[in-house]
Copies of this chain bind each other. A is one copy, B any other.
């Protein structure tokens, strides 16, 4: 279970003009102010540990919350500094943003083990950046539903593959301006999607990387619905819930893990003339 505490950052990345709208900004602040504490209480009730990906600006704005996450035994991951997608930055800008995030977390005494790129819009070089800074894993690539070892030219890391279908944005994101989505599903339906996937993954021996945003999934009925997912997992007997760091460590130590090298797709402009 992963929670991306984007708070204001993901909206500001769309355009800093949105900061002038207090309804929008407080919609985002709901995550750290209400959603995360409620989720932490809920997780504590089950003794479940999760991974919270925290942008640097969120860590700076809500340091006590981040400290509580650590204190309660959860993992804090690197989720960029500003939540701007690298695809809109040069590699140099991404590196600088990456470093600022490290500094912000370091300021709270946190050395992250894992990275998730904003909006799943990395560069091909991002994985090497993750390795270069000594992180153990990222959660960015979608070509598998089992974790694997990713070789970069600056070392090996683990990849814990996420997927859009396991992101609460697809179920709950609704805002007119900026337009972040137009969907308000019943929590029963959202959790049905995730529970059916978990159940089917038991047959295939997969890793379900659930991506939730506390400003969405921290609402009362949604937290309550998450309880039913956790209870399904705990009752199954063959499902383990743990942090990304723990999984990454196992993958790197597993001689049977798939080992892959990241090869950029080279496209022939004659075949694909549209830029």
Contact = CB atoms under 8 A, between A and B. Distances in A.
Interface stretch (A46-54, A70-78, A107-115, A259-267): A259-267
Interface stretch (A171-179, A236-244, A248-256): A171-179
A140 interface: yes
A30 B142 contact: yes
B265 A19 contact: yes
A247 B87 CA distance: 46
Copies in the complex: 4
A16 B124 CA distance: 15
A188 B199 CA distance: 13
B21 A122 contact: yes
B164 A22 contact: no
B170 A174 contact: yes
A219 interface: yes
A158 to B, nearest CB: 15
B188 A34 contact: no
Given A182-B182, A201-B220, A219-B197, A23 B121 contact: yes
A23 B81 contact: no
A174 B184 contact: no
A272 B123 contact: no
A140 B220 contact: no
Interface of A: 8, 12-17, 19-27, 29-30, 33-34, 38, 57, 81-82, 84, 87-88, 117, 119-124, 126-127, 140-145, 161, 163-165, 170-172, 174-177, 181-189, 192-193, 196-197, 199-201, 203-204, 206, 219-221, 223-225, 262, 264-267, 269, 271-272, 274-275
- Which 7 A/B pairs are nearest by Cβ-Cβ distance? A200-B220, A26-B143, A170-B184, A23-B120, A196-B221, A16-B272, A27-B142
